């Protein structure tokens, strides 16, 4: 449990410091589509190439971490 808690804290801090921003942008994209709103900001940001999706780094649902 301690290891899981430490991992959660690390991932939470990463997201809070901008290392998980793709998840937030995806949420904005989904909400804008649902509401039928065109966003110049999202159009520009989502057209840029993404090198890494940081919100899922370190997440291995079918592998044990040890």
DSSP state string for 5-36: HHHHHHHHHHHHTTTTHHHHHHHHHHHHHHHT
Token representation of residue 60: 């291995």
pLDDT digits (tens, 9 = 90+) for 45-56: 888 876 655 555
pLDDT at 23 over 70: yes
Distance CA 35, CA 58 (A): 33
Task: Give me 66's structure tokens.
Answer: 């040890």
Show me where the domains of the chain are located. Answer: 2-56
* Average pLDDT of every residue of the chain: 77
Angle of CA points 21, 27, 36, to nearest 5°: 135
Q: pLDDT grade, residue 22 (50/70/90)?
A: confident
């Amino acid at each position: 449990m301690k290891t899981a808690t430490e991992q959660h804290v690390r991932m939470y801090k990463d997201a809070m410091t901008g290392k998980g921003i793709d998840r937030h942008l995806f949420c904005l994209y989904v909400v804008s589509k649902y509401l039928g709103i065109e966003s110049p900001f999202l159009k520009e940001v989502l057209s840029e190439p993404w090198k890494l999706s940081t919100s899922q780094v370190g997440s291995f649902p079918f592998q044990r971490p040890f």
